Structure 1
Amino acid sequence: MVHGDDRAGRFAGKVAMVTGAGSGMGAAVARQLAAEGARAVVLADVNVDGAAAVAEELPTAKAVHVDVRDATAVDDAVQEVLRRHGRIDVLVHAAGVDDPEAKQRIAEALVERRPAAVTGSLDDASWRRVMAVNLDGTFHVLRAAVRAMQPAGAGAIVVIGSSSAFDTPVGYPHYAASKAGVHALSQAVAKEVIASGIRVNVVAPGPTETGMAARTPEVLRAGFADPRVRPYATAEEIADIALYLASDAAANLVGAVLLANGGRFTA
């Protein structure tokens, strides 16, 4: 973990917005932005109580309720930041969902030593829920951020993807597909908007200690325990990577997808 004191002032005077900021990686990003000098940090989350609890720790932070599935809500939240602060310099998009039911079925198959059988019984509602938050939500956030940043001719957007887009876990097709779409969407947008001075990059974490990970059945968590690689990342370690991408030190990174999985595989 890189502590704020080590890079104090890296985001001095910046206006930042973080989605999914009520917990996990989003909360860690928000805390680090505040520690590194951001003059305003807007914490957006569908769980506004969680975002408010994090914001209370930070003198320059404000929590807002945003469901990223709702394009109008995303647009309104971004416009409110512009009205209050005049610009958005950094946006980190960490909002996302997994599918605990699918995870449980994969775990049961492992325990019973049988193939996981998820796709044949995956209903439309489960598919749409994951796609609506992870992929549609990313589109809504990217579009709103680009609209906000283009007049200023500058800005940094960092999207939290997933290593699941590369290793496509058995029994988890909807999540893997959503994150692969997130990566491709972000890279396509990155190539377009760099002409407007906006950089878009992606962090693709592997197993990370978050609330999402806490809901993972133990048998699946045990499967990630390999002495040849690093253990689960902390949310703060992933936040460090995200904020490197958002910083001036990463000025030449555009459309990058940084695989942060502790050495489990390379892409």
Structure 2
Amino acid sequence: MEHEHFGRFDGRVAIVTGAASGIGAAVARRLAAEGAEVFVADVDGPASEAVAKGLARARPLTVDVAAPAEVERAFAEVVRRHGRLDAVVHAAGVDDPTAKEWIAEALVADRPPEVTGRLDDTAWERVVRVNLSGTFHVLRAALRVMAPRRSGAVVTIGSSSAFDAPAGYPHYAASKAGAHTLSQSVAKEAIAFGVRVNTVAPGPTETGMAARTPAALRRGFADPRVRPYATPEEIADIALFLASDEAANLVGAVLLANGGRFTV
């Protein structure tokens, strides 16, 4: 189906993190279809190359958002090639499959999950390093490029888990809640320099991360009273709206996109 906003990003330069799969890949494809020069950034270099190869005006970048030097190099590469950066969509993030298994086992056994006491430092630090520190690294790099030019839009991909704080998923919920608040604080600083920062907080979405979710948990998200799992493209459409001129007055927003599972 032809996208109704074709050409919104003509002549603009964008970087998308986590762009090798899921929501990030959908965002990269949408941006390219709407005219942007897109840098497809991901920790998985071959996968980012595969996505970029299928797009017009796209270039892959291998970036671990948890490594600040890699993030700075990636943004410097964009500026070196184009002299500007107009849009950033930060979709890179990780979950914890082991914690999900523990939650699912408890659900099947009809008992409360016991996760926090079993979480080791490595599991905690991995999730926080990528989801929270990674968001800081990307926001900082974006502002260093955009603020001097008094122009730009940044969209971070959060999670509805930041609001409903699922039992047994404390590190993920905390990392996303932190990323939301981080984005909002930076948004209030950045707008004085012409840069807008906003967040999308998806609920269950059909991504590779969701595919690894245990069946018992997936069934728990199935409810005929709400929308089914979102598609990556549906979340990408919200991200592109926030990155576009149509959202000129949205600053520091966190848009909950969970299909009606709960409101805040």
Normalising by structure 1, report the TM-score.
Answer: 0.98
Displacement of 1:113 in angstroms is 1.1
What is the DSSP-based 3-state SS (H/G/I as helix, E as strand, rest coil) of the residue aligned with 2:4? helix
| 1:59 Cα offset (Å) | 1.7
1:133 aligned partner, one-letter code? V
* Counterpart pick for 2:255 among 254, 258, 263: 258
Give the structure 2 partner of residue 32 of structure 1. Answer: 30
SS where residue 209 of structure 1 aligns? coil
Counterpart position of 1:17 = 15
Q: CA RMSD in A?
A: 0.7
User: What's 2:121 paired with?
Assistant: 124
What is the distance in 1 between the residues matched to 2:6 and 2:232?
A: 19
1:228 and 2:228 correspond: no
Distance 2:242 2:139 in 1: 16
- Pick one of 169, 174, 177 that aligns with 1:177: 174
User: Which AA in structure 2 matches 1:169?
Assistant: P
5+ residue gaps in structure 1? none
The number of residues matched between the two structures is: 264
Once the two structures are superposed, the pairs formed by residues 149-164 of structure 1 within 5 Å of their partners are 149-164=146-161
Q: State the alpha-carbon separation in 2 of the partners of residues 54 and 170 from structure 1.
A: 35
Q: Partners of 2:151 and 2:139 in 1: how far apart?
A: 14
1:45 aligns with 2:21: no
Percent identity over paired residues: 70
Deviation at 1:50?
1.1
Q: Deviations over 1:219-249 (max 9, x none)?
A: 0000011000000000000000000000101
User: 1:61-112, CA deviations, whole angstroms, 9 ceiling, x for partnerless residues?
Assistant: 0111100010000001000100000010000000000000000000000111
Letter in 2 for 1:36: E
Aligned match of 1:144: 141
Could you tell me which amino acid in structure 1 is paired with residue 123 of structure 2?
A: S
Where structure 2 has 5 or more consecutive residues not aligned to the other structure, the ranges are none
Please list, as runs of the form range in 1=range in 2, the aligned pairs for 1:3-14 lying within 5 A after superposition: 4-14=2-12
Whole-angstrom CA distance in 1 between matches of 2:157 and 2:164: 16
**1:188 has 2:191 as partner:** no
Q: Which amino acid aligns with 1:72?
A: A
Name 1:212's counterpart in structure 2.
209
**Any conservation in 2 of the 1:44–1:64 contact (CA below 8 Å)?**
yes
User: Which residue identity does 1:244 align to in structure 2?
Assistant: F
Alignment-mate amino acid for residue 99 of structure 1: D
Contact 1:30 1:43 survives alignment (8 Å): yes
Distance in 2 of aligned mates of 1:153 and 1:142: 15
Does the Cα contact within 8 Å between 1:4 and 1:35 map onto a contact in 2? Answer: no
Q: Does 1:92 align with 2:113?
A: no
Deviation at 1:4, TM superposition (A): 4.9
Corresponding residue of 1:107: 104
